[in-house]
Chain A
């Protein structure tokens, strides 16, 4: 590890001020499960580390009549165990349980994951599926960005150098959407080689609403619009689902690495999406 200065603010206000002062010279430390390994391997270095773990105001789940607000420092394990969240969105527990391993789930945070924006991470797909709003705070104030507009590229988001991701806001599940997260884990890293977060709302025997978010395939998680269009307002059938998943990587540049080439990755995306859709329909 290359030596660095360490700041540990007690409040969000202090943290924003520290970030404003140091901007690109500083890195924010939340759960540390992305940043610390990189620092240790000297693949990343920083002059100043702003450790925000004491900002307890960012580690809470609040549920109102129509909204769910998740603090950025909420750990994966908290999301997995929350009974209130599970009542509305069982898919959050399903996804949280598939993140890495117990140690990572006990330390890593949802805000950290969404800030790192790893193309193979789990929360980006879930955030897209659940139409999450992401709140960014700086000394200038706060702004809210839709998940669709938040991810900008490979490990890139629209978060500015002086902004801290403070919370993720979700709607309540008032339309009784059935959702599932299916993931194919990389055997070494545990990241998604491909994963699909899928939600379906039925109206009679027809699909009223469907949302499909894919991770692991492209430089950032995306909504599979073309597949969605095929399914919308149709009576679900095997052939319909098969047709829809054919377009799961439509308009995307599919990644490849030494484990999975583009053809295999696309096959996994199709399969994960197919299985998630079938599970959603089975729940109706």
Chain B
């Protein structure tokens, strides 16, 4: 059956000469990147360029009494300093783009002028001649603060006695969106047991290799602004920056060269983006701002940060009748771009995971705290959803003394479409994963190892997610102020070569390769004939961007449809050359053919392109040229799924975990480039293991960030990770013409629950059923100490 499905990955039944869909074509991007010739913004130098630095609050919560800049301004090389008072009526508030329901938005000025609300909150923007001088000036600006008590934890922020951070937000709640289906009360009545859990989903720092960086250059004569920005969403950024500054959009030109990773952190409006444009116009200079790594920890948005309470109504046979969920989602000090929707939509809409749970109720408390704002980070809500339901499945199994896979099998969704899921291979993936990891074999090894005092654990989890954010009407219903479409533009040059432009934006994904595969396959011409253009708002028709694993599903579909339109028009021009009716012309392998075999009987795509560009003869009623533009707004999203399995061994003397095996079985429908898809799994799983085992943002009680650098914040490194075994199933979606689903976030969604599940399985003999992430060696050792002490006390 597997083989049969993989056949679906081929676009056509009879092989065509130029069909690149489903082929592991090597990345076109790599020769430049691997030889150190990428174009990254910090390497860009404009003539007469100045440098900027942001003065940040050292307090988590404090009143600003006075800001004294005279000493800093006197420093040789300082051009000027902007404070909150200077920009108050010039730059609007930083506003969220997603307002998921009845939500109050606290004021977020680009520079704080009365109060700072987190360590890292921006107070002044300093511009000078060199990188060093603006750093020196940071130490010379004197700010009088009156420190206030700080709130860090999302649950503590909900206490009745808690201080209030924003005047207009009672109880520090921005809102409490609800989600429900069925009737949970009925599930409780019918249930044999109620299973309860409390989970923490740890706060993470996205940590792209390249921190944020900007170069702005305002031409004072034309008013045209060039902004070099590593944006996942160039056209959205253009709109947000223009709206916040009150500047016209046609004068804004955003350029995104190579981007060193984004993971969601480069798709939100940040204060520096408006300030650098404003300062460039104000001081009449091109200005560069580069974030350092430790500054990134204090100012680039964090991810996750939930405390979750779950209640499951279950039958004794393992069937889950109902799920009740309450989330405390830490928003940080201000509502960032997508912050309210990540927990309340992306998490709660999919919290049933791969399982049929007829009754459901969820409440999300959107809590303000004195911490870095929290927003979408690779997976964005789906990791939090998958983690909670998969931990719940293990808990149900433990309570009912059933095999965890059996509980999953009883509840797994088998028929599609189902609620938010269009299609899937939920059961098949689980079976394949079970087989590939040798689940039964490891169970035997596990019991043998325990006799020798070694603790091996096996985990197997299922995930699904909704990918390809669309359509626009649905986004409107959930309060998301953006379109759900993507743009494609194909320009056919007189020699038959093609420039293809997309509004989606790679940050290391390989769009120059994968889009060329789609366009070349549809136009049936060589990949070398396709140039892929992105990351320039003057060169690319208005698009949305790359997030939510949407580029191939939405942008790729736009590319395919756009290319098909070109062939349709080109066929008419070909008919002129072939001297026959357009309906009779066939097209294959880059050649138009007149089956009635007149002379000439064949004409190439390039010849047709030349005629269309030099249209001395035109088809009846046709315009010159073959260029097409197309905006694809899909009617629905799609649901990739998969099952990941892990085998771990826990060193009970140190608490250290060794991952012995990691198996990823994923189904993202048709794969354009299986090698790139496998690469996405590798990277995503690495980050997911990071969340499960290593990464942990820690704040002191006074709001100081204790994990302020990579010496304290542990990212997974290659020598800390196992070899991954990846394999794909192929269940194409009908929601788009390529049959593709998303793959970019699967790894970060699947890895945390499977690693935690495997570790807790290993620790079962000690009576340990759950440890909150990250499962660091000291946390595991502490849990073992407590368990040992408890069992000893129990014996007495």
Contacts and interface: CB of A to CB of B under 8 A. Distances in A.
A42 B136 CA distance: 10
B776 A268 contact: no
B654 A259 contact: no
Interface string A162-189: 0000000000000000000000101111
A82 to B, nearest CB: 23
A189 B711 contact: yes
Given A187-B720, A189-B712, 15 more contacts: A2-B132, A41-B292, A41-B709, A184-B654, A184-B777, A187-B694, A188-B715, A258-B698, A258-B706, A259-B778, A264-B655, A264-B778, A267-B781, A271-B653, A271-B654
Interface string A246-275: 000000000000111100100110010000
Contacts of A1: 132
Nearest to B781: A264
Given A187-B694, A188-B715, A258-B706, A267 B776 contact: no
A3 interface: yes
A260 B698 CA distance: 13
Contacts of A3: 132
Given A3-B132, A187-B694, A187-B720, A264 B782 contact: yes
B298 to A, nearest CB: 13
Contacts of B655: 264
Contacts of B449: none
Nearest to B718: A101
A184, A259, A261 — most chain B CB neighbours (10 Å): A259
Contacts of A187: 693-694, 714, 720, 776
19 contacts: A1-B132, A41-B709, A42-B135, A184-B654, A184-B656, A186-B714, A187-B714, A187-B720, A187-B776, A188-B711, A188-B714, A188-B715, A189-B712, A258-B698, A258-B707, A259-B712, A264-B655, A264-B781, A267-B653
B309 interface: no
Contacts of A260: 778
A188 B778 contact: no
A188 B712 contact: yes
B688 to A, nearest CB: 16
Given A188-B711, A188-B715, A261 B132 contact: no
Interface string B125-138: 00000001001100
A180 to B, nearest CB: 16
A12 to B, nearest CB: 32
A241 to B, nearest CB: 13
B586 interface: no
Contacts of B442: none
Contacts of B136: 2
Contacts of A271: 653-654
B781 A188 contact: no
B128 to A, nearest CB: 14
Interface in A1-17: 1-3
Interface string B777-792: 1100110000000000
Contacts of A101: 717
B781 A259 contact: no
Interface in B491-531: none
B250 to A, nearest CB: 41
A186 to B, nearest CB: 8
A267 B654 contact: yes
B710 interface: yes
Contacts of B247: none
A268 B654 contact: yes
Contacts of A264: 655, 777-778, 781-782
B135 A188 contact: no
A209 B283 CA distance: 73
A259 B776 contact: yes
B39 interface: no
B724 interface: no
What 5 A-B pairs are tightest by C-beta distance, nearest first? Answer: A188-B714, A187-B714, A264-B778, A189-B711, A271-B653
Contacts of B698: 258
A1, A188, A189 — most chain B CB neighbours (10 Å): A188
A41 B294 contact: yes
Contacts of B717: 101
A261 B714 contact: no
B40 interface: no
Interface in B762-779: 776-778
A258 B654 contact: no
B713 interface: yes
A184 B653 CA distance: 12
Contacts of A2: 132, 136
A164 B655 CA distance: 41
A186 B654 CA distance: 12
Nearest to B707: A258
Contacts of B720: 187
Nearest to A1: B132
A157 B447 CA distance: 52
B660 to A, nearest CB: 19
A188 B714 CA distance: 4
A268 B681 CA distance: 34
A250 B275 CA distance: 57
A261 B777 CA distance: 12
Contacts of B132: 1-3
B89 to A, nearest CB: 34
Contacts of A41: 292, 294, 709
Interface in B650-694: 653-656, 693-694
Contacts of A186: 714
Contacts of A258: 698, 706-707, 712
Nearest to B712: A188
Contacts of B294: 41
B268 to A, nearest CB: 26
Nearest to A42: B135
B189 to A, nearest CB: 47
Interface string B704-734: 0011011111110100100000000000000
A137 to B, nearest CB: 32
B706 A188 contact: no
Interface in A183-202: 184, 186-189
A85 B706 CA distance: 41
Contacts of B653: 267, 271
Contacts of B778: 259-261, 264
B699 to A, nearest CB: 10
Nearest to B132: A3
Contacts of B706: 258
Interface string A72-83: 000000000000
A3 B135 CA distance: 11
A196 to B, nearest CB: 13
A188 B710 contact: yes
Interface string A96-120: 0000010000000000000000000
Interface string A28-42: 000000000000011
B698, B706, B711 — most chain A CB neighbours (10 Å): B711
Contacts of B710: 188
Contacts of A259: 712, 776, 778
A189 B694 CA distance: 12
B714 to A, nearest CB: 4
Contacts of B715: 188
A188 B782 contact: no
A3 B712 CA distance: 27
A2 B712 CA distance: 24
A2 B654 CA distance: 41
Nearest to B139: A42
A238 to B, nearest CB: 13
Nearest to A274: B653
B455 to A, nearest CB: 15
A187 B711 CA distance: 9
B485 to A, nearest CB: 42
Contacts of B693: 187
A44 to B, nearest CB: 14
A264 B654 CA distance: 8
